[in-house]
Structure 1
Amino acid sequence: MPIKVFAGLGSVEVDPWGFVLPFGLWVWVALLAFLLLLSVGSCFLSFRFSEKDFSDEGFAFVSITLRQSVWVDEGGWWWQRVVLGLWMLMTMVLTRSYEGNLMSLLAVRHLPQPYQTLRDVVDDPSVVMVWEKQGAPIQAVIDATSGIFYEVKKSEEQGRVKALPMYTFPAILEEVISKQKVILDYELVLTVLRSNHFSRTGRCDLYLGQERIVAHPLSLIGQKDSPLVLALSTWVISMTEAGLYVHWNSATIPNSSACNQVPTKITISSSLSFRQCWWLASVTLV
């Protein structure tokens, strides 16, 4: 029976910095670098080859980027028209791509599942790990002298490890959903917790991590050298290979598979708040 991470999905929120997400970091860096280079270069060439005022030359590229009108004198240099025309074409492609990606990002929102492995939990200092008191998993942590379990053991000094009886797990599910705590226990125990929560609330607020941290076998214990052990082992293997254990397990736990395929992306049609559009207000005021 594998041990897994049991965490909460939390609520869907819009990132107030979402307007920068349509482009990657290096796209923004390249755009700002080209904008600065063209503005400085245009100012320098205008100052070098003409005696007229060149104060507005550098701002022409900024105006084009912000989709503002630009005035070009008829007596200007030919290279000015060529550079401005190429910049207009490039910014048109970029702005169209930006608008399309931004609309998609505003409509599709993500349900984060940050804790997929024990390493993810250990590396997050804000979350508390809850283990079953006097259970085999917490005993493995206590006995650890190296590896990831030893790191969990050391994190107890920061108050990040709690050992609680299994019957108290339902009482802390709200803290798990709010991402204050995660539970680490056998997959069967966590499946029962999740199915009971769904049966009570009708919501899939909890998920199981993908990593099988460690697996402990389940078996029957019989008297040594007893002929019943061999016979029972044969029957148990046959039932397991036939899928009866999985079938009975699913049948005895109501709604055990209701939250197995929780979507990580949802489409929402709603109006944006002022907090989500704060950057638009700041640009307008400037």
Structure 2
Amino acid sequence: MIGMLQRQEVDVGTGPYKITYERSTAIDLTYPYLISVVRIFAGRGRGEVDPWSFLFPLTPLVWGITLTALLALITVITLLTLYLPHARRTRQLINAGNIIRVPLQQDVGESAEWWWWERVLMGVWMLTTLVLTRSYTGNLMALLAVRYIPQPLQSLQDLVDNPVKVMIIKGTAQQQAFETANGGVLRDVWELQGEGRLMLLDRFNMPDVNMLLRTGGTAYMTYGVVARPLMIADFSSTGRCDFYLGREEILPSMGAMAGPRDSPFIAAFSRRIIEVTEAGLYDFWDRTYNPNYTSCLHVSTKITVRSSLGIVNLWVDSW
């Protein structure tokens, strides 16, 4: 399109054309009517139950401390039996077994010959275990009822670090920004070509972007004004928000109409564009043209499960 303007085959291009220095040397651009940023457009994950979620209610540190305390109590009681008469050692070793029975919520053998320090030790251990087990079961129930929807691609660094493919439209200002970057994360994204992870798509022969994103493992680098209609159309047809936009905003740019060099239309169009944007008409038209405008902009990443338990849930519960 810029070539057609440069060759004066057309009088005006509605755009939006992203304003760059290279383009300004070839064509004339009007006053900008759009400010947009490039964001990551990707498919939302599915809420799934992790078979190892029975480990999640407690952090590794708590698991480690609990196991250490259990082994320490058993060791202390076992060592103390060395200072008792032989007739009492057998009974004392049974009490060491009771230390293990408490966190398993099994009955504790009664003995009228327990010493006072044994009763205190067992009482403190029972109280500690009660708090721990109640916290564990409560958190486990929450993990089974509430599932998190993963949205791992929030920044350019996430694209580099995760084994995903990145799609960029050829011949755009964003491709030029990545290609000409001398370093940093922009250059890292461009060098993904060497790993076969950067896909330069032809605008006129684009595959079904929604299908590629829905299958996972692919991200689309595009402007918000391009991604938003895709999200809206998908929500209008399915009633679900299957896609999300990454938080990081990069390559902010202004969009404008364009014409050949020294075109008399540019000044007239610029004057009217200023009037339209200052009156808020452009934003109004944008929202009117895109129904369900805000439906998928701030979707919760947590869902509450109200369905029956499946095999995976029962497998987790059995632990």
TM-score, normalised to structure 2's length? 0.80
Q: Aligned equivalents of 2:207 and 2:300: distance in 1?
A: 24
Q: CA RMSD in A?
A: 2.4
Q: Which residue, out of 6, 17, 38, partners 2:73? A: 38
- The aligned residue for residue 249 of structure 1 is 286
Number of aligned pairs?
281
1:255-279 per-position Cα deviation (integer Å, ceiling 9, x unaligned): 3332122221111122333333435
- The aligned residue for residue 135 of structure 1 is 172
Q: Residue 220 of structure 2 aligns to a residue in which SS?
A: strand
1:91-138 per-position Cα deviation (integer Å, ceiling 9, x unaligned): 11111122222212211111111111111111102x100111221112
Q: Residue 262 of structure 1 aligns to a residue in which SS?
A: coil
Question: Percent identical across equivalent pairs?
Answer: 38
- The aligned residue for residue 96 of structure 1 is 134
Q: Aligned equivalents of 1:199 and 1:8: distance in 2?
A: 16
- The aligned residue for residue 65 of structure 1 is 103
- The aligned residue for residue 87 of structure 1 is 125
Residue 293 of structure 2 aligns with an amino acid whose one-letter code is S
1:208-266 per-position Cα deviation (integer Å, ceiling 9, x unaligned): 11111211211234677889756654543454344322221121224333212222111
- Pair 1:237–1:17, CA change in 2 (3 A): farther
Q: Which residue, out of 35, 47, 63, partners 1:12? A: 47
Q: Aligned equivalents of 1:122 and 1:159: distance in 2?
A: 12
Q: Which residue, out of 201, 204, 217, partners 1:164? A: 201
Residue 182 of structure 1 aligns with an amino acid whose one-letter code is A
Q: Aligned equivalents of 1:6 and 1:137: distance in 2?
A: 14
Does 1 or 2 have the higher relative contact order (CA < 8 Å, sep 6+)?
Answer: 2
Q: Aligned equivalents of 2:126 and 2:287: distance in 1?
A: 61
Q: Aligned equivalents of 2:100 and 2:287: distance in 1?
A: 62
| Structure having the larger proportion of residues in strand | 2
Q: Residue 47 of structure 1 aligns to a residue in which SS?
A: helix
Q: Residue 276 of structure 1 aligns to a residue in which SS?
A: helix
Q: Residue 28 of structure 1 aligns to a residue in which SS?
A: helix
Q: Aligned equivalents of 2:279 and 2:136: distance in 1?
A: 53
- Pair 1:255–1:87, CA change in 2 (3 A): same
- Pair 1:77–1:202, CA change in 2 (3 A): same
Gaps of 5+ in 1: none
Output aligned runs, 1:168-247, within 5 Å.
Answer: 171-221=208-258, 232-233=269-270, 235-247=272-284
Q: Residue 14 of structure 1 aligns to a residue in which SS?
A: coil
- Pair 1:97–1:241, CA change in 2 (3 A): farther
Gaps of 5+ in 2: 1-35
Q: CA deviation at 1:170?
A: 6.0
Q: Which residue, out of 27, 49, 64, partners 1:29? A: 64
- Pair 1:228–1:248, CA change in 2 (3 A): same
Larger-gyration structure (1/2): 2
Q: CA deviation at 1:157?
A: 0.9
Q: Residue 96 of structure 2 aligns to a residue in which SS?
A: helix
Corresponding position: 1:149 with 2:186? yes
1:156-193 per-position Cα deviation (integer Å, ceiling 9, x unaligned): 11111001123555613223123220100111111122
Residue 102 of structure 1 aligns with an amino acid whose one-letter code is L
Q: Residue 203 of structure 1 aligns to a residue in which SS?
A: coil
